[in-house]
Amino acid sequence: MFEVAEYIGIIAFAISGFFVAVRSRLDFLGVLVSVFLTALGGGIIRDIAVDKTPYTFTHNTPALIVISVMIGLILLKFHKKESIENRPLFIVSDSIGLISFSITGALIAIESQLNLTGVLALAFVTAVGGGITRDIIINEVPFVFKTGFYGTVALLVALFIYLLHFTGWMNFYTLSMVFVAGVLLRIVAYYKKWSIPLV
């Protein structure tokens, strides 16, 4: 289940990272960095946090996926489209990436025998760490800090996974249900413009 969620997250975040780079009018190297950071950055931070060699550094598949997605999007001329960041493909891909990486972060935390705080923190970092790093590099306020319910969804997913583990109900089917529910929640929250209170 970990590898499935990891690869889904990489594909989805590679797509959203590409769209963010295009919107910021970056050159080819900038797009490449944006795609790699968005797709792989959170996972690298996650693995380092639990003293593991990053998955991306021991398996070739993640990098091959990122490069393939980027080439595919260029060949399909998505970089020529206007205002693509607010279109359904971006929202759906970003939502899938968010939930997939929230799940992998929580699973690694549970595997590492972390408590609830650790599960929440690792899921959050995995889901948004790459995007935060990308946004800082391109001199933007990180997406997670200005998109209302975004980070909250990652925490809710992590909480449910912890509860499933605690009660002994965690399996492929329940994780799949959390994945679908999380993606739907993120999409609904976006279109309904749900947000957490401003300070």
Q: Is the pTM of this model over 0.75?
A: yes
Terminal-to-terminal C-alpha distance of the chain: 38
The pLDDT tens digits of the residues spanning 16-36 come to 899 888 888 888 899 999 999
Distance between CA atoms of residues 124 and 131, nearest Å: 11
For the chain, give every domain's residue range: 1-192
Distance between CA atoms of residues 102 and 182, nearest Å: 10
> In the prediction, which pLDDT does 147 show?
63
Q: Could you give the 3-state DSSP secondary structure of residue 143?
A: helix
> In the prediction, which pLDDT does 25 show?
85
32-46, 98-112, 138-152: least confidently modelled range: 138-152
**Mean pLDDT value across the chain:** 89
The pLDDT tens digits of the residues spanning 84-134 come to 555 787 888 889 999 999 999 999 999 999 999 999 999 999 999 998 999
